[in-house]
Structure 1
């Protein structure tokens, strides 16, 4: 393909450079051409994650660019630290319960304090392993904690958290505890390795871990190229930093033409970034949309949170029957599990006071839902909070709803055939779709303005990331974007085009106030005692009974007597005398 002037300048550059590339600007193609122009050099391409690595391997192999090695930070670290060593890897992060047991943590006079302490030890360890610091005590962990209850707990127990984090890391280092992936990356960074390459290409630099950036910046013998998009930094919550702003003496280059976005979508993306003018004057954004896509085959719904996505999927698939097949980016089960390992079904069992149905040891240790909610607040566990909200919203209907979603979920190879693809922004980063619908759980201009007026510069970083989330979501579309009216910038004039469809707020009548995907149990007296059961009602009846809903609640829902429900279940062969 013919290169743009911006791409050509990068390919012909010399020395260390950093490239700020807008969404869909062909940065992988640019890096590939850059490497092709240097066939005598041994080049390392550092990919953001495994899926990006595999895609890059495919593209570089097809171009016969065999002098380029493609790795992730973790694959480099694994080869240097783990292979041939005594270390055993913990495939998932240690759970709160495991940490409590390993360190023999005891209650501190507060309910669940040993579990809350373990949760913060886990998070503090992740912070250290991703940082450039050499000692745990050099961290300022308290500064990373949000949520009033969590902040108060950490402030009170700070020394204990730091001490126990050091003990846990020491146990890993001695081989007494299986190590995490973050641990061996940290150990790699502390070794100060010299990488045997003439040139290193560092992709997705806006979301680099400080540990990996420290390794990259030590490679003074090599030409270094760092590429990313400042406005796509969305992993600050995972302790990532925008390395494009951290590196000095690297010549600046830009890729401002987007081959994905058309003119209308690029203007909207620019307008979203302009939200940042509400709290900063230091802003540089220019996107030239040159995309010519016309297809609307692959459709996606993108939300900020798992909760909003699951509610929307249930609404479209189960209640309204708008779609028949779905695909969730990043594996459907990941939307129903907390980072600590507890599942939506564990929380549901606790909600139903069915302790024997709880597999996760931490959740099983909770006396009730109130205790679990207190734990989630004190640890500021966003994923667990989401699961609690879903369970409280749907209750005993949840197993039936999850079963429906799983049965209609297509395999990875069939993704493009799904009636609708669902994804959070984080899971679809780097992806693109013909048509995108945004849920309305993103930040709005009014919210940004109010938060900054109330809180000032203390919330600037958090607001920046929220705006970036909306920007990344908007820029996933190649052809058409459906967006809620409240998410649009106030000074953005929607062009008369099919490429942007504004979703007006729904009109809710006084007679109708649906808040869940399946109507709430009705409270009126039985009025359909003698009415024939429809096939649809029978299917729903069986599903509710099998999911653990009581006959009393089923009777209330269908507005029938308990005996009518009982005898219908008996006739259907679901229950026996």
Structure 2
């Protein structure tokens, strides 16, 4: 992009070059030239050495071509390779370690049966789960593997998952000990291992400033590395409205970072005013700090498209439905991300239908496909499991395999199909929105729309992938809803407290810090449904409505009391009760977690 900097870009450059070297957060909307702005800022300070940290190799390579030579453009793994990673290259390039060998190396010799009606977990399956725990630890900011790194099995209860985590954590720590060895280790070493070792060393880059891109979706290990560079000027750039990977453990570091200055880039160069106006409707609902301005010379329109370049769907199930339609109409289709995951799902479903069991990570606890269907029908089943079941039941495993086999490369496709998540960072001239984007539920008392923040962000990402023509398709229902802000706890929880002041006790645990409460206020009121979580939010947001009272006898249950049948804790990833930094439980009934720690704080 070659143009004079906009006023907003000039403000970023001026802040970057200021004598006091402020830390800066830049909220940059879709297509608003954030990379170009960083490049102009770096060129304005040729005497200073900097580092540009990108989340993937392609971005780093592109930046290396565009930035001046005084800026070292790297991925985090590249930064870690020199001081740490080069010592692990032989292990990384070594032969693949099968799960059976991993189980033997870890000493996992016996199966585990937690629920008699479900399939026992074999040593091979347990070894895979241990290595998955280690993988989540490697992407965290934690000091060692812990029970919180187990991804709960959907078929198990909270208590059963707690018991499993307590059992596996010792093997996860044993695996981590093995992976830190430069020689003689028995387990499969990956690039994430040396990045984690590098992060634990609290490194300080020998530069004057650090530029961090795509900061709205950072792994905690990356955020930790950036935090350590407090000797240098730090500039964080991204778009909090596109923070759509929280379900993978990513965090919006921009909202947490204590910056001296917060600036915005709102002039989009990707599309014209029509698409910018549509995007702003979603930013209104998100209460985002900016509104986009379309680029007049680009031009854009909202129109129905019979033959779009790309179709963007909310879910994998929606993407497969579009793929089936494309195949039936004789159009060559490409699926962003490929179809390998779908083939593995179809094969796992066929195994379960035949009563053979499966090692598929989301289905391994089930003995039959009927069990999977039964569990997916429960209200508390995970959304991902419901999608898997819908895919198989709607199309059949054989049909899934057949349809996936027809996929072509993108350069040979008549249409490209993607989920909104996989489309992030991409753009096409003509985009149609798939039909599976969900309308919001309505509050039963007020009738107001209950907007979910994650759904709003995904919709914003989807509509901003179009350059010339946007077919709103599955998001056109927005016209039927009021354009008020996301309803958060500031509007309805305070009313609840006024009506039930005795429900808040003086010793009510507060699981949120003040920063978290501010973020919570922007989330739809159906996002946090546990009554005790609502109370804690009100306690911080509206303390004027909180008065201490004597706790009621145990036999009297407050209308806001948490349901005792589902004890929760931070270890189970459902933070009902905040715990100390060891994350051992001390205020709920998940004793198995506490027993997994050497010491439980008093």
TM-score normalized by the length of structure 1: 0.69
Task: Flag the 1:362–1:200 CA change in 2: closer, same or farther, 3 A.
Answer: closer
Task: Flag the 1:88–1:75 CA change in 2: closer, same or farther, 3 A.
Answer: same
Q: Distance in 1 between matches of 2:372 and 2:414?
A: 36
Deviation at 1:46, TM superposition (A): 0.7
Deviation at 1:430, TM superposition (A): 1.4
Partner of 2:8: 6
* SS at 2:39 equivalent: helix
Task: Flag the 1:298–1:394 CA change in 2: closer, same or farther, 3 A.
Answer: closer
Q: 1:286 aligns with which of 282, 288, 291?
A: 291
Task: Flag the 1:475–1:167 CA change in 2: closer, same or farther, 3 A.
Answer: same
Q: Does the 8 A contact of 1:94 with 1:122 survive in 2?
A: no
Partner of 2:191: 181
Residue pairs, 1:422-501, within 5 angstroms? 422-446=417-441, 463-483=452-472, 484=474, 485-488=476-479, 490-491=481-482
Residue pairs, 1:181-330, within 5 angstroms? 181-276=191-286, 283-294=288-299, 299-318=309-328, 320-321=329-330, 324-330=331-337
> 2:50 matched to 1:43?
yes
For structure 2, the residue ranges without an aligned partner over 5 or more in a row are 485-602
Q: Deviations over 1:88-112 (max 9, x none)?
A: 2389999987765654252234333
Task: Flag the 1:226–1:362 CA change in 2: closer, same or farther, 3 A.
Answer: closer
Q: Deviations over 1:523-550 (max 9, x none)?
A: xxxxxxxxxxxxxxxxxxxxxxxxxxxx
* SS at 2:274 equivalent: helix
Q: Does the 8 A contact of 2:217 with 2:253 survive in 1?
A: yes
Q: Distance in 1 between matches of 2:96 and 2:282?
A: 35
Q: Does the 8 A contact of 1:195 with 1:219 survive in 2?
A: yes
> 2:71 matched to 1:71?
no
Deviation at 1:40, TM superposition (A): 2.2
* SS at 2:88 equivalent: coil
Q: Does the 8 A contact of 1:147 with 1:377 survive in 2?
A: no
Partner of 1:333: 339
Q: Does the 8 A contact of 2:155 with 2:365 survive in 1?
A: no
Deviation at 1:257, TM superposition (A): 1.3
Task: Flag the 1:232–1:95 CA change in 2: closer, same or farther, 3 A.
Answer: farther
Q: Distance in 1 between matches of 2:415 and 2:285?
A: 30
> 2:388 matched to 1:397?
no
Deviation at 1:312, TM superposition (A): 0.8
Q: Distance in 1 between matches of 2:458 and 2:280?
A: 13
For structure 1, the residue ranges without an aligned partner over 5 or more in a row are 278-282, 338-342, 494-577
* SS at 2:143 equivalent: coil
| Count of aligned positions | 459
* SS at 2:416 equivalent: strand
Q: Distance in 1 between matches of 2:391 and 2:97?
A: 25
Q: Distance in 2 between matches of 1:98 and 1:362?
A: 22
Deviation at 1:427, TM superposition (A): 1.7
Deviation at 1:268, TM superposition (A): 2.0
* SS at 1:290 equivalent: coil
Q: 1:31 aligns with which of 28, 35, 38?
A: 38
Partner of 2:529: none
- For the aligned residue pairs, the C-alpha RMSD in angstroms reads 4.0
Q: 2:142 aligns with which of 133, 154, 179?
A: 133
